[in-house]
Structure 1
Amino acid sequence: MNVIDIFHAPRGFVFQDFETRGIVTDHGEVTLRYPVLTAEIIRDLCGTVRRNRLQALSAYSVERIVDVIGKAVELWTDPDYEERLLAESLIPAITGYDATMTRIELKRYMRMFRRRELLRFLDDELSSPRMLDEYRPNKSGGYTRLYGPDLTFHVFSSNVPGIPVWSMTMSLLTKSAIIGKSSFDEPLMPVLFARSLAQIDPDLADALAVVPWHGGTVELEDMAIGEANAVIAYGSSHTTEAIRPRVGTGKPFLSYGARIGFSLIGREALRADTHVQTVHRMAVDVATYDQQSCLAPQTIFVERGGAISPAQTAELLARELDSQQRKYPRSVPSDEESLAIRRARSETEMKALFMAAPAPGGSAAQNDPQAPFVIESPQGTNWTVLYFPNTDSLTSLATPLNRTINLVAVDQLEDALPALKPYRAWLQTCAIAASSSRLFTLAQHVGEYGIDRICPIGEMNRAKSGWHHDGGFNILDLVRAVDIERNTDRYSDTFDIDYE
C-alpha cells in the first residue's frame, strides 16, 4: 500500500507521532500520513521557518524568487512529472471532483505562475519591483523600500484545488516565511507545490511548512496567529470571521470568504451565429468545480431580443449541463447540500403557482413564459436551472451551488442592476457577453455594485495573473513601506570629508 505524506516541513524538522487515513483511487488504496500536532510543535515550526528565512530567503532578490517559482512551475508542464501525476490521481479521489476536469483545470492554473506571468504581475502591482530588494527612487524625490512579513500564517481552503499555490506565491514574493494550515478535504496541492520548490531550491523551501489540522482547533490556530506577522485566511465566511477577532491590531489580515458571481448575456451573444457557443460557455462556468469556487456564477441575467429568448436559453443551458454531466460528472454532494437543492426547486415551483402559468403544449421554454419554471437533471440533483421571468420574481442571487443556476430574463442588461444592490458585500466576478460598444458602459455600472473582476463567459473560474482578489492588492496589502524622505541623502552628503 502506498503511503503519501500530506505535509511539508523544513529539512531536519522531525515529527514524533503520526496518524493516517486511507483513500481509494483508480490505482488502488493509498494511505495519507500526517503528523500529530500540538501548540508547541506549531511554535517550533514557526521558529524554524523564520530562522531559515533569515538565513536564505530574506537575502534573495525578487528576481531570484521569481526564477525559482517559475522553474518549479515549469516542472508541472511535463505530463509525466511525478508530483503532477500524484495530484491528478489523488485530488479527484479526495475531493470527488471529476478526474478529467481536475487534470485540465490544474494544468491551466499552474501555467499562471510561469516566470513571464509573475514578472507581468509584479510590474502591474508595483511601480518598481526592486523596492522589495532595496531602496529605490520614488516619485516624490526620495527613496522607498518594501518589507514583507517575517512569517505569514495561511489558512487554506479545500473548495478549489490549486488556490494555495496563489497564496504561497504572493507571500514568497514578499520574502515571507510560511506556516500553512491545509484542509483534510484537500491537503495535497500546497504540499506538492512545496516539494516542487524544494527540487529547485531546497533553501527557499526550508522557509515553508504546510501541515493539516481540523478547522477550529483553537490552540493550534492561536499559536500560529500569535507567531505570525500576517494572516491570510480562505474559506467560508464563518471560518474567516472566526479568525478575524483573534488577529492582533496592526497585523495584516487578508480574508477571502464566500462570494457570489453572476453573468450578463446580451442579445448580441444570442444571435443565430453566436448562441450555441455562448450557451456552451455558460455551462462551462457552472460545471467547473461544481460552482465551489468563489468565482463561479450563481445567477445569469439574459437579455430579451436575441434570436432565442431567455426561456429558450434556459432550456439550451439545461441540455449543455446534461452534456457536462456526462463528460465531467459532478461530485457527490452531502445530504444537506442535496436537500438545499431540492428546496430551491420546490420554492421556485411554488412561486410559479402564484403567477401566470407557462404557455401550454410543447416545451416549458416556448415563447416568453411569465412564470418561473424549473428544469432539472433526470437523475437526482446533478444539475438544476431555475428560470425567472424578471428580477422581481428572483428568490435570491445565491443558489445552493453544485451546478444549480438561476437564469433571469431582463429587457435590458441594465435592468439587472437593482437586483445586485442587496448583495453588494458578497459580489465578486461578473462575466459579460456583449458587444464592445456596450462593454465599458456595463462595466462602469456593475463596478459600482461591489464587484472586483469582469471577464468573458466561459472563463469565470480562471482568473488571470495580476487579478485584484476581492478588490485588494496581492502584495501591497502585505508589505510595509519605508521612505527615505527627499533631501535626506543630500543632507548625508554634507558629512563627506570633501563636501563643499
Structure 2
Amino acid sequence: MSVIDIFHAPRGFVFEDFETRGVLTDRGEVTLRYPVLTPETVQDLCETTRCNRSQTLAAYSVEHIVDIIGEAVELWTNPDYEGRQIAESLIPSITGYDATMTRIELKRYMRMFRRRELLRFLDDELPSPRMLDEYRPNKSGGYTRLYGPDLTFHVFSSNVPGIPVWSMTMSLLTKSAIIGKSSFDEPLMPVLFARSLTQINPDLADVLAIVPWRGGTVELEDVAIGEANAVIAYGSSHTTEAIRPRVSAGKPFLSYGARIGFSLIGREALRADTHVQTVHRMAVDVATYDQQSCLAPQTIFVERGGAISPAQTAELLASELDSQQRKYPRSTPSDTESLAIRRARSQTEMQALFMTSMTPDSAAQADPQAPFVIESPQGTDWTVLYYPNTSSLPSLGTPLNRTINIVAVDQLKHALPTLKPYREWLQTCAIATSSSRLFALAQQVGEYGIDRICPVGEMNRAKSGWHHDGGFNILDLVRAVDIERNTDRYADTFDIDYE
C-alpha cells in the first residue's frame, strides 16, 4: 500500500503529527497523508513562506518567473511524468470523475500555463509586464511600478481538478508567497504542481505552503486571513460569503462562487449540414466534469427555424448525452443531488400534465406545446428538460450532474429578458450563430452581467487571460505606485552639472 503526501511545505519545515485516510483505486488502496494543523502551525507557515519570498521571489524578474512556471508545466506534457501519472490515477478515484475524461481535460488545462500562454496573458492584462519589476514609463508621462501582496491566502475548491493551478500561477506572477487551503475532496493538483515547481526551482517552491483542513475551521482560517495581504476564495457562495466579512477593509478579496452558464443556439447552427456537430458540442459542454464547473451550461436556448426544431434538438441532445455516458460515465451523485434531479423531472412532468387536454372520448392528449422530459434509461445519469417557451422555464439553473434545460425561442434575443433575475450569477455564454449576428448578439448579452463568450463545445475550456468573473487576474491583486510627471526632471536639478 503506497502513501501519498497531500501537502507541500517549504524545505526544512517540520510537522509534528499526521493523519491519514485511505482511497481505493483500481490499483489497490492508497493512503493519503496530511499534517495535523494548529493555529501556531499556520502562523509558522505564513512567516516561513513570507520570509522565503523576501529572499528569493521578490528579486526575480517576472520573465524569470514565467520561465520557471513554463518549464514546470512542460513536465506535464510528458505522459510518463510521475506527477501526471499520479494525477491521472488518483484524481478519478478521489473525485469520482471518469478517468479518461479527467486525463484529457487535465492535459488540455495544463497546456494553458506554458510559457507562450503566460507571456500572452501578461501582455494582455498589463500595460507593461516589467512594471512588476521596476518603474516603467506610463501614458501620463510619469512612471509606474506594480507591487503584489507579500502573502496571499488561497481557499481552493474541489469541483474541477486543476483550478488551483490558475490561482497559484496568478499569485506567483505578482511575486506573492502562497498559503493554500486545499479540499479533501480534491487535494492533489495544487500539491503536484508545487512539486513540479520544486523540480525546476526549489527556491521558488519554498514560497508555497499547501495544506488541507476542513472547511469552516475558523481558528485556522482566521490566522491565514490575518497574516495574508490578499485573500482568494473559491467554492460555494456560502463558503465565499462566510469568509468575506473576516477580511479587513482595504485588503484585496477575490471570491469565485457558484455561477450559471447558458448557451444560445442559432438556426444557422441547426442546418442539415451543421446540426449534428452542434448537438455533439452541446453534449460535450454538459458532460464535461458533470456541470460542476462554474463555466458549464445549465440552460440552452434554441432558435426555431433551423432544419431541426428545438424539440428535435432536445431529442438529439439526449441521444448524445447517452453516448457521452457510455464513453465517460458520470460520477456518482449524493443522495441529495439525486433527489434534486428527480424533483426537477417531476416538476416538468407536472407542468406537462396541467397542459394535457381531454378529447371527447376521454382519451388524454398531450399538448404539442407542453414541456417534456427525456431521462436516462438508468437512474439520473442524464436529464433533458424541454420547455416550449421562456415563460414555461421555471429556473435558469438546474441540479447539475448532466441535467440541462432546452428552451425554444423564435429569436435568440427573446431569451435575453429571462437572464435579468440571474444577473449576479451569470458567467459564461456559448454562442452558435453566424459571424454576421455574433457581435450584435454579444453586445446585447454583455449587458446582462456575463463576462465570457465562447464557442459551443468549449465552455469548460477558458483560455489563458480571460477575465474571471469580469475582473482582472493580476491587476485586482496588485497596487500601483506612480512617480508623477516632472518628478524625474525636478530630481535632475540637484545634479552637480545641471544647467
Separation in structure 2 between the aligned mates of residue 444 and residue 423 of structure 1, nearest angstrom = 18
* Partner in structure 1 of residue 26 of structure 2: 26
Q: 1:355: how far off?
A: 1.9
Separation in structure 1 between the aligned mates of residue 449 and residue 93 of structure 2, nearest angstrom = 36
* Partner in structure 2 of residue 37 of structure 1: 37
Note if contact 1:358-1:370 (Cα within 8 Å) is conserved in structure 2.
no
Matched, 1:151 2:151: yes
Letter in 1 for 2:194: A
Matched, 1:180 2:197: no
* Partner in structure 2 of residue 108 of structure 1: 108
Q: 1:90: how far off?
A: 0.3
* Partner in structure 1 of residue 126 of structure 2: 126
Letter in 2 for 1:57: L
* Partner in structure 2 of residue 438 of structure 1: 437
Distance 1:358 1:473, change over 3 A: farther
- Aligned CA-pair RMSD: 1.1
* Partner in structure 2 of residue 255 of structure 1: 255
* Partner in structure 1 of residue 239 of structure 2: 239
Q: 1:333: how far off?
A: 0.2
Deviations 1:279-309 (A, max 9, x none): 0000000000000000000000000000000
Letter in 2 for 1:48: T
* Partner in structure 1 of residue 284 of structure 2: 284
Matched, 1:299 2:299: yes
Note if contact 1:153-1:232 (Cα within 8 Å) is conserved in structure 2.
yes
Letter in 1 for 2:247: V
User: Please, which runs of 5 or more residues in structure 2 have no aligned partner?
Assistant: 360-365
Separation in structure 2 between the aligned mates of residue 59 and residue 6 of structure 1, nearest angstrom = 29
* Partner in structure 2 of residue 376 of structure 1: 375
Q: Any idea what SS the aligned residue of 1:255 has?
A: strand
Distance 1:358 1:243, change over 3 A: farther
Letter in 2 for 1:207: V
Matched, 1:203 2:169: no
Note if contact 1:297-1:405 (Cα within 8 Å) is conserved in structure 2.
yes
Aligned length: 493
* Partner in structure 1 of residue 363 of structure 2: none
Separation in structure 2 between the aligned mates of residue 351 and residue 45 of structure 1, nearest angstrom = 56
Q: Any idea what SS the aligned residue of 2:73 has?
A: helix
* Partner in structure 2 of residue 52 of structure 1: 52
Q: 1:356: how far off?
A: 4.7
Q: 1:466: how far off?
A: 0.7
Note if contact 1:429-1:460 (Cα within 8 Å) is conserved in structure 2.
yes
Separation in structure 1 between the aligned mates of residue 141 and residue 447 of structure 2, nearest angstrom = 35
Separation in structure 2 between the aligned mates of residue 222 and residue 340 of structure 1, nearest angstrom = 34
Note if contact 1:374-1:386 (Cα within 8 Å) is conserved in structure 2.
yes
TM-score (norm 2): 0.98
Separation in structure 1 between the aligned mates of residue 414 and residue 346 of structure 2, nearest angstrom = 26
Letter in 1 for 2:473: N
* Partner in structure 1 of residue 427 of structure 2: 428
Q: 1:323: how far off?
A: 0.3
Note if contact 1:358-1:369 (Cα within 8 Å) is conserved in structure 2.
no
Note if contact 1:357-1:369 (Cα within 8 Å) is conserved in structure 2.
no
Separation in structure 1 between the aligned mates of residue 37 and residue 395 of structure 2, nearest angstrom = 42
Separation in structure 1 between the aligned mates of residue 416 and residue 352 of structure 2, nearest angstrom = 23
* Partner in structure 2 of residue 447 of structure 1: 446
Letter in 2 for 1:118: L
Distance 1:23 1:358, change over 3 A: farther
* Partner in structure 1 of residue 362 of structure 2: none
Deviations 1:140-198 (A, max 9, x none): 00000000000000000000000000000000000000000000000000000000000
Q: 1:353: how far off?
A: 1.4
Separation in structure 1 between the aligned mates of residue 354 and residue 475 of structure 2, nearest angstrom = 52
* Partner in structure 2 of residue 390 of structure 1: 389
* Partner in structure 1 of residue 218 of structure 2: 218
Separation in structure 2 between the aligned mates of residue 432 and residue 267 of structure 1, nearest angstrom = 11
Higher mean displacement: 103-112 or 350-359: 350-359
TM-score (norm 1): 0.98
Separation in structure 1 between the aligned mates of residue 88 and residue 53 of structure 2, nearest angstrom = 31
* Partner in structure 1 of residue 80 of structure 2: 80
Separation in structure 1 between the aligned mates of residue 490 and residue 27 of structure 2, nearest angstrom = 70
Q: 1:369: how far off?
A: 2.8
* Partner in structure 2 of residue 141 of structure 1: 141
Letter in 2 for 1:272: A
Q: 1:454: how far off?
A: 0.2
Separation in structure 1 between the aligned mates of residue 106 and residue 466 of structure 2, nearest angstrom = 18
Separation in structure 2 between the aligned mates of residue 105 and residue 386 of structure 1, nearest angstrom = 27
* Partner in structure 2 of residue 334 of structure 1: 334
Separation in structure 1 between the aligned mates of residue 326 and residue 455 of structure 2, nearest angstrom = 25
Matched, 1:99 2:122: no
Deviations 1:105-154 (A, max 9, x none): 00000000000000000000001000000000000000000000000000
Separation in structure 1 between the aligned mates of residue 354 and residue 411 of structure 2, nearest angstrom = 25
* Partner in structure 2 of residue 486 of structure 1: 485
Q: 1:354: how far off?
A: 1.7
Q: Any idea what SS the aligned residue of 1:134 has?
A: coil
Matched, 1:162 2:162: yes
User: Please, which runs of 5 or more residues in structure 1 have no aligned partner?
Assistant: 360-365
The alignment-based identity, stated in percent, is: 88
Separation in structure 2 between the aligned mates of residue 428 and residue 498 of structure 1, nearest angstrom = 59
Matched, 1:270 2:234: no
Separation in structure 2 between the aligned mates of residue 139 and residue 23 of structure 1, nearest angstrom = 56
* Partner in structure 2 of residue 462 of structure 1: 461
Deviations 1:379-411 (A, max 9, x none): 000000000000000010000000000000000
* Partner in structure 1 of residue 6 of structure 2: 6
Separation in structure 1 between the aligned mates of residue 272 and residue 77 of structure 2, nearest angstrom = 38
Q: Any idea what SS the aligned residue of 1:333 has?
A: coil
Separation in structure 1 between the aligned mates of residue 218 and residue 448 of structure 2, nearest angstrom = 36
Note if contact 1:311-1:369 (Cα within 8 Å) is conserved in structure 2.
no
Deviations 1:355-381 (A, max 9, x none): 25699xxxxxx9x93000000000000
Separation in structure 2 between the aligned mates of residue 169 and residue 184 of structure 1, nearest angstrom = 21
Separation in structure 2 between the aligned mates of residue 120 and residue 108 of structure 1, nearest angstrom = 17
Note if contact 1:357-1:371 (Cα within 8 Å) is conserved in structure 2.
no
Note if contact 1:145-1:482 (Cα within 8 Å) is conserved in structure 2.
yes
Separation in structure 1 between the aligned mates of residue 133 and residue 172 of structure 2, nearest angstrom = 13
Q: Any idea what SS the aligned residue of 2:97 has?
A: coil
